[in-house]
Structure 1
Amino acid sequence: MCARVSLYKLFAPSIRKLYPTGFGRNKDTKFSLRKGTQKEWRSLTTLHGEALLIFCELWSYIDVSFESFIEYFTCHFGLGYPANPVTRSLQNQIVNALHLGERGRASTLLSHIGHDKHVLKANHFVQILAYCAMKPDPLFVMEIWRTMEKKGIDMNNKCHTLMIEALCKGDYLEEAFNLMNSFGETADLYPTLHKYNTLLSASAKMSSVTHASKCLDLMEHNMLGKNEITYTQLLKLAVLQKNLSAVHRIWSEYARYYSFNLISLRKFIRSFTRLGDLTTACEALRHLVDLVFHKGSTIKIRTKEKMVIPTLDVPIPFYGNLEWDKCKNDKKIGYQEIVNFDLNEVKTVEMVLGHPKSIPVTKILRLSFTDVIRACVPPKNHELAEQLFSQMQSLGIKPSRGAYDGLIRVLIREKGFHDGIEVLKLMQQKNLKPHDSTFAAISIGCSESLELDLAESFLDEVARPKSAYPYIKLLEACDTLDQPERGVHVFGKMKHLKVAPDIKTYELLFSLFGNVNAPYEYGNILSQAEAAKRIKAIEDDMARNGVQHSYVSIRNLLRALGSEGMISGLLHYLRVAENQFTPGTPIYNIVLHSLIEAKEAQMAINVFKTLMSHGYRPNDVTCNIMIDCCSITGSFISAQGLIAMMIRYGYPPQTQTYTALVKLVLALEDFDEASTLLNQACSEGIQLDALLFNTIMNVASWKGRIDIIEYVMDRMHKERVLPDSTTCGHVFTAYVNQGFYNTAMEALQVMSIHMLSVEEEDKKTVFEDLIYAEDSETELRVLELFKDSKEDLAVALFNLRWCAMMGNPISWSTDQSHWVKRLANGFR
């Protein structure tokens, strides 16, 4: 390095006199001469007698390592090549053959190289190796290596470096290390930092911590130190390994030896944002803005430490090594968790208003701001994202599509899709085309809010879908709203756009299409055949895409089979679950419930025994299901044993338990015991529901026991348990069957008003309009409530409308009802 400086000072004036316009780069040749031809440069080199002088001058204009430039200059300007035109012609022929894909001819020509009378040297292979490094072609490099060993040709530094580059670019990392270790140090072959940086870069590319550690050990052994390129490669590897503590160590060590520039700060900002460290990313962003607008010579990174600015990129010795493996496993170093950004600190940052003087600087600033804004999405830090977005504009930096994308996504996650749509409109007003990820994020937000039309319309704007996730969220919304037809349409779009479905997609498909019948309907032969056809089609598609069943997909499939009453399929997939997974109690509960619904008591008992024999612990749901099974078999003793098991496992009896016991005693027509159980449940202080009361009223209505009906209704009023549509049906039927028509209408009106009491008071006017309306569309408006899963509300409105049509005035004060007063006086 010192030789370079001294030679530059000695010969630069004469070179500049000959070529006053200097030298430059272009995007095609990487760097080229602003004045002068290759022939003139070779003449100039001969004139001065030493090519190194020209290297020094050119190198001052080129941002590459010294070794890399020597190799490039030698390869492209002919310096160091043998004078023998025959050998040079063979090299050109081999390169042409490789370029045309004629590997056999290239190998034949390689075997003929050196057959002339001249002594064959390593430089005879430089042109071929330079092409292999550019391509890359690691296999032919291995062939050249074997040829050189066979002919006894001594390796030199140029060939060695080009071989390592070709092997590393071709992902032959192990062979590159073997090549590095196969030769000892000589006058023509010696370790250079460029070689090790190449190996380190390949290790980072392949995310190989083992090779990176090995490379660092070799660098330390050869006392080569580290330069800025080394730190860059270590930074890449740390990010690939998601090792935030390593990034912090690199950040601190880099700051001790080097002055941050725009490129290095950009890389660190990107690294911190990818690993979720918003605090340090914002700190680096402040430094970047300060460097651009204030031109500060030093930038503080810690309160007690300032960065020094060396004049040359001198390799740093290995004292204070990163200790990569130790750093990888050290959980106490650096920031391990996302730290919430101090907004007040951001507000006090002095960012001078102005515009960068060059387009590249503007691009770096824009990209860095965009990275930090996008990093605000996972922690849902919309305040910071909005502030950074505003600061971009204050600094004269036009937000990119990526910045809008990050802002829209964080707003959707924290505030909702409406805010995201507003920013999208602003973006479109500025003629910026949104990213596909922007449309996908808005679609996801709409799906989560169950706005299916909007979700589908934004999803249609995605030109090239990269993930199935937006479609999965839309399928979830279809499942929630029970819209299988739309689900079919969404899945069809996925197939048309060739979006690869994952297991989550199939889990939802089983939930959406596994059962055919709508709620309140039982399976039949036709629906079971259709369900079997659908299930087979889904499983065939899974097989074509190489997707295996998951626990959730089996669970959803079992629920679908159970709802259709397909017992054989249910037991088959239970065995599949037992063979492929650890089913656990929840899977068995689904099967047990379906068997009880199908009145298959003995099968349920066998499955329960299997559950116990496999060592699974039954929970309260299991015991309640099996108590239901006892109501089929009529075994009260078994039910008592199950209750004892529940208490032993720490599950006190709940409403479901009492409901199952009531069902059991009513199967034995023991109304007294049912009343006792009802009173006990009320006295336990547990959360009661209408199902417990309906269970007794169902049998009482069927038996014509008005006294039981009225007793249960009185307890229901006292416990403030709201009736539902089933309650109305049982009570009304019981009175009508006994000929008490007026009482039936009065009871129906009271129960319906109680059902509406869960709604807001200001809705009474709306309800009255629906009740007394005479237009033909009223019933349709009431039926619309079924789509919002408000069946009880719709039934209550229909009941009251019918009562009004029968001439019964509607009174919202149920306490004045004679029926309610009679119940209260009769069961004090």
Structure 2
Amino acid sequence: MRRSLGRVPLWSIADLFSKSKLLKHGQINVAGELGFCRSIATSVGNNVHIFYLECGAILGYGKELTTNSIQKQIVDALDLGDRGRASNLLSDLGHANKSLRAADFVDIFRYCARSPDPLFAMEIWNVMQEKQIPLNNISCLFMTQALCKGGYLKELAVCKQNLSAVHEIWKDYIKYYSPSISSLKKFIWSFTRLRDISSAYQALQHMVALALQGNTSITSTAEGRLYSSRLDIPIPSNVELGLQRFDMKEFDEQFDPVKVDPCTRSIEWSTISKIGKEVDSSGIVGLDKTKCVPAMKVLRPSFTDVIYACAQNQNYRLAEQLMIQMQNLGVQPSSHTYDGFIRAVISGRGISEGIKVLEIMQERNLKPNNSTLATLSIACCQVLELDLAENLLDQISDYQYQHPYNRFLEACDTMEQPERAIRMWAKMKQLKIQPNIWTYELLFSLFGNVNAPYEDGNMLSRADSAKRIKAIEMDMTKNGVQHSHLSMKNLLKAFGAEGMVRELIEYLHSAEYLFYRSNTYLGTPIYNTVLHSLVEANESHLAIGIFKNMKSNGFWLNAATYTIMIDCCCNIKCYKSASALLSLMLRDGFYPQAATYTALIKNLLDDGNFDEALKLLDLGSSEGIQPDVLLYNSILKKAYEKGRIDVIELVAEQMHREKIEPDPSTCHYVFSAYAERHFHNTAMEALQVLSMRMICQEDHAFDEKKAEFEDDYILSEDEEAESRILEFFRGPDENIAFALLNLRYCAILGFPISWSPNETLWARRLSTNYDTIKRITH
């Protein structure tokens, strides 16, 4: 039903009509009159459409509009509450076979401003954007009014990530209105959701200025809600506000963490640690005590929004500045504020500083949000601090998001600590946290195979593995989660690691059927996983059969597929087939990588052709292939089996010059080659040198490593010394644990430990021989 018009001051109408008559006679500047129309429109509120009928006609807007126009039909439909018809008519208008202008939408915008109807105003704007029709001044004004009155200002364009649109509205808003606390709050919300931190900070500072001027006029209701005694209707500004957009370069320089000296940073951090304490009379300018409580409730959410944006933009310096400003204003940060601040601190200063902020919260008797604890736990998982991460997750209650728990499971997988993962999985069950596909992908990776990577499967471990996989799949079915490519890949990989060939093939066929039903391609990575497992299990005939099927059915093969099959040729002792596969690989546009050279070299070594293998190694290096320890170990293994100490010494020296860190297998092959031929002293000397190189590759750093490891680990007579060494196996420094055990073994047998490994007789002899051989061969 059409709303009745309110009473309008007669002087306004008379003044408007007198001005419009002058305008008709050319006595008033059009641009100036447009500004006058804006002023009148805002002053008279809902009656704005009366005056714009006259002014709009004079300025040329709506010349083609008639009472039977689509615009009028849309307005009538809206007035009758028939929004479906109005939307259909708007769509018709948008697809009209003529060149549309902003003027063709003015009447509808006007109705939306009067009603107000912010949602339909945004619908009009969407149509205009699709047709690439720019808003004119009147349309923009009407739309701003519709959004302001309807309370939808902060949602505008945010859902579409349209930052430029929000800036246009902001520009028009501050040009024609004096911003209120409420409207600034909405703009801050919009800017922060669009990660425009400079504009959000700018608007926040004007909000603070209004609060300090006592312009909040905030009152608390009996129900605890806040309302403003000022009308939240934009009031035209008589002067141009000095709200200039920040220069982003200048803004970044102002809050550049690199330019802050440690002393200043320490002072600011100590100030932040005092947030929440009683502010003394030391000259800090804050809000009036009588207005402090309501002002805090008004300012705190906007400060929190900007601090969250700082976290998203990884601008922890500005977040610290805002926390200090809150302190100075007497605005008490909430747990939600600290949640955003901790996110910002972690991004810039790391997890240890985030924990310090958590301790500050505890001193203030503020209970951290579950999301805060989750954020800290995730950060701990990223640096593999599993004890702290687990402790933080244990403090969480009534939290249904899987992400922090999945991150913990992921870290357990990286650290190869499935026992921790079992506890966390049990906690997820206890808290009734719904697992997602990522959870199950990690569970298959963690629990699918029982043995460690360097152990072979047996009858008992295979039965246990099958039982675990079945339990995980049953849980997936119960929770309605379908297999992803990665979950299926991890499952098949687990079967392969345990040597369960029959189950591997059965699940491959099940996966083909499952993904075929969902019109999904099974994927080359899954087939590669199966091929690799079959080659490792020496099931060459099965691998060749699957490869032929892939070729005949037009499956897309990649470099990894060809590399696996070249490796398969080692099992069947056929270098000719390996060469043919290499030709196919090159024809399909794939260049050999380190793994490909490793497979080819293994084929040559099986024939005892060490000279060609070493030439191929040099060829790979000349083509920019960076050899890895696996490639070198494949040569060392065959050389050890064939008793070729000359090859072993050449490869060991080349590894050192290429700065390839030895691993336990390297030490085993070199040591065993000497020891089995009764060169015991040389074997121990080589073991020491290679162990030292596992700890460090740089000569200048060995003194530091000596101070770190010698007394407490290698030479210590403490019974717990070896237990301390074994602790390294729990982290990513597994090689250091092997090296320390080797060196301790040497010391126990009475061999002196040299911390200048490259100066030993063995190392110098290898270096001299290497230079001689390379001189001769080149």
Compute the TM-score of the two structures, normalised by the length of structure 1: 0.66
Give the drift of 1:377. Answer: 1.7
Q: What is the CA–CA distance in structure 2 between the aligned matches of 1:647 and 1:746, rounded to whole Å? A: 44
> What residue number does 2:148 align with?
231
Tell me if 1:768 matches 2:677: no
1:700 and 1:708 in contact (8 A); partners too? yes
Asked if the contact 1:562/1:595 (under 8 Å) is kept, the reply is yes
The alpha-carbon deviation at position 732 of structure 1 amounts to 2.7
Residue 517 of structure 1 aligns to a residue in which SS? coil
Q: 1:635 aligns with which of 574, 597, 608?
A: 574
Task: For 1:302-451, list aligned pairs within 5 A.
Answer: 342=251, 353-355=286-288, 357-358=290-291, 359-451=293-385
Q: 1:645 to 1:510 in 2, by over 3 A?
A: same
Q: Does 1:458 align with 2:392?
A: yes
CA–CA distance in structure 2, aligned partners of residues 693 and 702 of structure 1: 14
What code does the residue aligned with 2:710 have? E
CA contact (8 A) 2:335 2:366 kept: yes
Shift of 1:729: 1.8
- Between the aligned partners of 1:339 and 1:538, the Cα distance in structure 2 is 51
Q: Distance in 2 between matches of 1:813 and 1:822?
A: 15
The letter for the 1-side match of 2:686 is A
Letter of the aligned partner of 2:213 in structure 1?
H
Query: What SS class does the counterpart of residue 773 from structure 1 fall into?
Result: coil
Question: CA-atom RMSD, angstroms?
Answer: 4.6
Indicate the SS of the match to 2:753. coil
Q: Which residue of 683, 687, 692 corresponds with 2:626? A: 687
Question: Counterpart of 1:376 in 2: which secondary structure?
Answer: helix
Letter in 1 for 2:318: L
Q: CA deviation at 1:542?
A: 2.0
Query: In the TM superposition, what is the alpha-carbon distance from 1:194 to its structure 2 partner?
Result: 9.2
2:482 to 528, 539, 548: 548
User: How far off its partner does 1:697 sit?
Assistant: 3.0
- Is 1:798 aligned to residue 741 of structure 2? yes
Choose which of 185, 198, 213 in structure 2 pairs with 1:279: 198
DSSP 3-state at the match of 2:157: helix
Q: What is the CA-CA distance between 1:198 and the residue it aligns to? A: 7.0
SS of the aligned residue for 2:465 comes to helix
Determine the C-alpha separation between the residues in 1 that align with 2:234 and 2:190: 24
Residue type of the alignment partner of 2:584:
M
Opposite residue 628 of structure 1, the aligned amino acid is D
For 1:325, the equivalent position in structure 2 comes to none
Q: 2:211 aligned to 268, 292, 303, which one?
A: 292
TM-fit CA distance, 1:724: 2.8
Write the distance in 2 (CA, Å) between the matches of 1:538 and 1:229: 54
> Is this contact kept in 2: 1:666–1:699, CA < 8 A?
yes
Cα deviation for residue 794 of structure 1 reads: 2.4
Relative distance call for 1:202 and 1:521 in structure 2 (3 A) is farther
Equivalent pair of 1:745/1:803 in contact (CA under 8 Å)? yes
User: In the superposition, relative to structure 1, how do residues 582 and 600 fare at CA in structure 2: closer, same or farther (>3 Å)?
Assistant: same
Matched-pair contact (CA < 8 Å) for 1:704–1:737: no
Deviation per CA, 1:38-90, whole angstroms, max 9, x where unpaired? xxxxxxxxxxxxxxxxxxxxxxxxxxx999xxxxxxxxxxxxxxxxxxxxxxx
Q: 1:701 offset after TM fit, Å? A: 2.7
2:439 to 505, 511, 514: 505
State the alpha-carbon separation in 2 of the partners of residues 815 and 440 from structure 1.
48
Q: Taking structure 1 as reference, are residues 685 and 393 closer, same or farther at Cα in structure 2, changes over 3 Å only?
A: closer
Amino acid at match of 1:763: K
Is the 8 Å Cα contact of residues 227 and 314 (structure 1) preserved in structure 2?
Answer: no
Q: Summarize the Cα distance change of 1:311–1:417 in structure 2 as closer, same or farther, 3 Å threshold.
A: closer
Measured in 1, the distance between the counterparts of 2:656 and 2:110 equals 90
Between 1 and 2, higher relative CO (CA 8 Å, sep ≥ 6) is seen in 2
Alpha-carbon contact 1:366-1:398 (below 8 Å) kept: yes
Work out the CA distance in 2 between the residues paired with 1:346 and 1:736.
63
1:630, distance to aligned residue in structure 2 (A): 0.9
User: CA separation of 1:281/1:596 partners in 2, compared to 1, >3 Å: closer, same or farther?
Assistant: same
- 8 Å Cα contact 1:411-1:419 kept in structure 2: yes
SS in 1 for 2:211: helix
Task: Output the CA distance in 1 between the equivalents of 2:232 and 2:499.
Answer: 80
1:818 positional shift: 4.4
- How far residue 641 of structure 1 moved from its aligned partner, in angstroms, is 2.0
1:346-369 CA deviation, whole Å, 9 max, x = no partner? Answer: 99xxx9743375444432122222
Provide the secondary structure at the position in 1 that maps to 2:545. Answer: helix
- The answer to whether the 8 A contact 1:472-1:505 is kept is yes
The structure 2 residue matched to 1:742, chosen from 681, 685, 700, is 681
Contact 2:149 2:233 in 1 (8 A): no
1:472-527, Cα deviation, whole Å (9 max, x unpaired): 21112111111111112112212211222222222211221121111201222222
Alignment of 1:54-65 (within 5 A): none
**How far does residue 683 in structure 1 lie from its aligned partner after superposition?**
5.7
Q: 1:758 aligns with which of 697, 717, 723?
A: 697
CA offsets, 1:700-734, max 9 Å, x none? 33334445444544555565544332222223323
Specify whether residues 606 and 354 from structure 1 end up closer, same or farther in structure 2 by C-alpha distance, changes over 3 A only.
Answer: same
TM superposition shift of 1:250: 3.6
Deviation at 1:448, TM superposition (A): 1.5
User: Which residue in 1 is equivalent to 2:604?
Assistant: 665
Q: Which whole-Å CA distance do the structure 1 matches of 2:397 and 2:507 have between them?
A: 39
- The equivalent of 1:22 in structure 2 is none
Opposite residue 593 of structure 1, the aligned amino acid is H
Query: Quick one: structure 1 residues 282 and 732, their matched pair in 2 at CA, closer, same or farther if it must change by over 3 Å?
Result: closer
- Closer, same or farther: CA 274–356 of 1 in aligned 2, 3 Å: farther
How far off its partner does 1:826 sit? 5.9
Q: Secondary structure at the match of 2:318?
A: helix
Structure 1 residue 599, shift from structure 2 partner: 1.0
Contact 2:307-2:341 at 8 Å conserved across structures:
yes
Amino acid of the structure 1 residue aligned with 2:722: E
Higher Cα Rg: structure 1 or 2?
1
- How far did 1:596 drift? 0.9
- 1:620 and 1:820 mapped to 2: Cα distance? 38
Distance in 1 (CA, whole Å) between partners of 2:365 and 2:436 is 35
Give the counterpart letter for 2:733 in structure 1: K
Q: AA paired with 1:633?
A: I
Contact 1:373 1:406 in 2 (8 A): yes
Tell me, which stretches of 5 or more residues in structure 2 are unaligned?
Answer: 11-44, 48-77, 89-108, 131-140, 217-229, 237-244, 257-283, 773-778
Distance 1:444 1:418 in 2: 13
- Structure 2 vs 1, CA of residues 428 and 733 (structure 1 numbering), >3 Å: closer, same or farther? closer
**Cα distance change of structure 1 residues 311 and 712 upon mapping to structure 2, 3 Å threshold:** closer
Q: Does 1:809 align with 2:743?
A: no
Inter-CA distance 470–312: structure 2 relative to 1 (3 Å threshold)? closer
Amino acid in structure 1 at the alignment position of 2:475: D
Change (3 A) 1:450 1:338: farther
**Distance across 1 between alignment mates of 2:603 and 2:643:** 19
Matched residue type, 1:799: N
Separation in 2 of the partners of 1:703 and 1:245? 71
| Gaps in structure 1 of 5+ consecutive residues | 8-64, 68-159, 168-172, 179-190, 214-223, 298-309, 317-334
Residues 423 and 584 (structure 1 numbering): CA distance in 2 closer, same or farther, change over 3 Å? same
Task: Give the letter for the 1:286 counterpart.
Answer: Q
Give distance in 1, aligned partners of 2:447 and 2:249: 44
Task: Give the partner amino acid of 2:406.
Answer: I
Alignment of 1:73-84 (within 5 A): none
Q: Could you tell me which amino acid in structure 1 is paired with residue 705 of structure 2?
A: K
- Tell me, in whole angstroms, the C-alpha distance in 2 between the residues paired with 1:814 and 1:486: 39
Q: Cα–Cα, structure 1 residues 5 and 400, in superposed 2: closer, same or farther, change >3 Å?
A: farther
Write the distance in 2 (CA, Å) between the matches of 1:345 and 1:751: 51
Cα 1:475–1:198 change in 2 (3 A) is farther
Is the CA contact (8 Å cut-off) linking 2:112 and 2:142 kept in structure 1?
no
Write out per-residue CA displacement over residues 104-145 of structure 1, whole angstroms, 9 at most, x where no aligned residue.
xxxxxxxxxxxxxxxxxxxxxxxxxxxxxxxxxxxxxxxxxx
1:279/1:341 contact within 8 Å kept: no
